[in-house]
Amino acid sequence: MEKKEMRAVYAETLIDLARENPDIVVLDADLMKANGTAAFAKAFPDRAVDCGVAEANMVGVASGLSAAGKIPFASTFACFASRRAYDQFFLSANYARLNVKLVGTDPGVTAKYNGGTHMPFEDLALMRVIPGLTIVEPSDPTSLAGFVRLAAAHRGCVYMRMPRTAANVLYGAAETFAFGKAKVLREGGDAAIVALGSVMVNEALAAAEALAAEGTHAAVIDALSLKPLDLDTLLRYARSTGRVVTCENAQIAGGLGGAVAEAILEAGVAAKFARIGIRDEFGEVGTVEYLIERYGITAAHIAAAVRSLT
Amino acid sequence: MEMHELETAAREIRRSIVATIARAKGGHMGASLSEVDILTALFFGFMRCDPAAPEDPERDRFILSKGHGSEGLYCSLAHRGYFPQAMLDDYLGHDSPLTIHPTRHTPGVEMNTGALGHGFSNAVGVALSAKKSGRRFRTFVLTGDGELQEGTNWEAAMAAAHFKLGNLVVIVDNNRLQLADTVENTMRIEPLGRKFEAFGFEVRGVDGHSIGELLGVLGGLDYEGERPHAIIAHTVKGRGVSFMEGVPEWHHRIPTGEEAARALEELSK
Ligand SMILES: Cc1ncc(C[n+]2csc(CCOP(=O)(O)OP(=O)(O)O)c2C)c(N)n1
Ligand SMILES: [Mg+2]
């Protein structure tokens, strides 16, 4: 499968946007090289702001830039974007109804060898409770470019999670995306696997493939937009299949699993339900392959969860 | 320990750092080599600490706030006898306590650090506890210079002076580089000495690669007084390996086999 480096796509898209819109500015906190935003700084030195190792300040500054009319895209590792800068993002950006785009890189297990301090499993739950915030986790380079463009056009704050390294290309260049819209990547009438982010969507596709060989046909839904959630699609598949498994590279409490469970129960849909994700544990060091096994979030775990819903 | 023994220890620690990072194919070479002489002065020449009693309530405390320099700390602790040197062979192994950023699972490690901007505040708490319970141990915390861009450090500095923590020493590994560029280009922190002074610290500058100078300064501080101490240690990132010294890429670069061999060769002289 074709792969593209996510951070390169992020920077290229911002450079294109910046050519069209003079208000786009890019901030980082000593991670421009790591996050790919160095390419933007090279193209637009005057519109790139390195705030140094000072993430809370960066998000406060981004809020100020927004208040004065700019469209700031601020990036840092997702652990710092969420935990370190949370109050600034919550109050200065969101409560003030400003227009700050915060991009957290290395989500969940993609922090790999950076281990527990740098492995954000909690960012989705933290962000979900900020009123009115839009939260997306693109699953591939095409959806990443699409959502960066949507974020720039959207008036309001956005939190986006993004692995830095290469990810499989799942969508053709002509595909269009929208906040609050999931994508059905694979049809199936026996179960619905709802996955968020590149790691989990690829695992979900592999799980569906394995299940198909056994005669169980699971639909794979790429959630993409955690908030707003695509209730129409999710509830339709919950009703028609009666079996839902959510998959996230994050704590199951408060993230995608929580959001889908709430939606299904509140809609009164009688579907069997299971969650794949991190179960109240801290991060560790390792490769992505090791870590998804360690935390029980592989394709095999997803397939087993689908089988268990009888 | 005699000075030549301390210098030998520092060289051995540097060799271990290079070997450990090369073997594990992970770690922060420049940051670890930068801090070695400071750690050697503290653990081998100055602090009241006993590897056989790492939980002794009277021990002097050391907190590595620049937690990405963990290999420097692990190798120093191993050479000092806190745990077998063989454990370094399994650095970054799945069941090893030696993770890329240090945690309290490792003997001799006082706090979990690695997200920058935590250790100084932690040190204020530890030193405050000593003061409140009438214990005479001293608390040393090592920060990066880039790390000082995190605002929490300055909240900690304010608190240290306010609580009159003469038993606290913050040492800045002032190697003038951060992740990808110089501190000056990224986000200026100078005038550093005057900043600490303004916050109420007693400030000393020192050659951070002279164990003798470091010991002289550490030995001359008033730990019973009311002013906290800042030591600005002038260092070179990647110190000891000619082709790593002052080169930003070595913040995070992993040496090839050939580079590691060359580095070890240089460090054997
Ligand atoms: C809160 C936080 N932000 C960002 C990082 C990523 N990071 C790791 S090391 C580093 C640069 C540190 O530079 P400095 O403090 O000067 O330490 P040196 O390596 O030079 O000793 C950065 C930004 C981090 N670990 N923690
Ligand atoms: Mg530095």
Q: Residues B212-242: pLDDT tens digits?
A: 999 999 999 999 999 999 999 999 999 999 9
CATH number at residue A93: 3.40.50.970
Please report whether residue A23 resides in a domain. yes
Given a contact cutoff of 8 angstroms between Cβ atoms, the answer to whether A79 and A50 are in contact is no
Is residue B150 less than 8 Å (CB to CB) from chain A? Answer: yes
* CA A35 – ligand 1 centroid, Å: 14
Please report whether residue A173 resides in a domain. no
Q: B100 and A115 in contact by Cβ < 8 A?
A: yes
Residues of A designated catalytic: 55
A84 and A61 in a common domain: yes
* pLDDT values of chain B reduced to their tens digit, one per residue, 269 residues: 999 999 999 999 999 999 999 999 999 999 999 999 999 999 999 999 999 999 999 999 999 999 999 999 999 999 999 999 999 999 999 989 999 999 999 999 999 999 999 999 999 999 999 999 999 999 999 999 999 999 999 999 999 999 999 999 999 999 999 999 999 999 999 999 999 999 999 999 999 999 999 999 999 999 999 999 999 999 999 999 999 999 999 999 999 999 999 999 999 98
* CA B146 – ligand 1 centroid, Å: 6
Phi-psi category of residue B188: left, alpha or beta, with phi > 0 → left and psi -120 to 50 → alpha: beta
Nearest ligand to residue B143 Cα = 1
Q: A284 and B99 in contact by Cβ < 8 A?
A: yes
A253 and A113 in a common domain: no
Is residue B67 less than 8 Å (CB to CB) from chain A? Answer: yes
How far apart are the CA of B69 and the nearest CA of chain A, in angstroms? 12
The pTM assigned to this predicted structure is: 0.96
Exposure class string for A44-65: b at 16+ Cβ within 10 A, else e: beebbbbbbbbbbbbbbbbbbb
| Secondary structure of residue A244 in the 3-state scheme | strand
A162 and A41 in a common domain: yes
Please report whether residue A176 resides in a domain. no
Is residue B254 less than 8 Å (CB to CB) from chain A? Answer: no
Please report whether residue A175 resides in a domain. no
Task: Quote the mean pLDDT of chain A.
Answer: 98
Q: A30 and B186 in contact by Cβ < 8 A?
A: yes
Parent domain of A196: 183-308
How far apart are the CA of A185 and the nearest CA of chain B, in angstroms? 34
* The CATH homologous superfamily of the domain defined by B3-266: Thiamin diphosphate (ThDP)-binding fold, Pyr/PP domains (3.40.50.970)
Q: B92 and A116 in contact by Cβ < 8 A?
A: no
Contacts of A51 in chain B (CB under 8 A): 149, 187
Please report whether residue A188 resides in a domain. yes
For residue B177, what is the nearest residue in chain A, using CA coordinates? A30
Map out the domains of chain B as residue ranges: 3-266
Please report whether residue A72 resides in a domain. yes
Encode pLDDT of A85-108 as tens digits.
Answer: 999 999 999 999 999 999 999 999
Please report whether residue A102 resides in a domain. yes
A157 and A14 in a common domain: yes
d(CA A301, CA A305): 6
For residue A54, what is the nearest residue in chain B, using CA coordinates? B150
A229 and A154 in a common domain: no
Which of B94, B120, B153, B184 to mutate: most A Cβ within 10 Å?
Answer: B94
Separation of CA B94 from chain center = 25
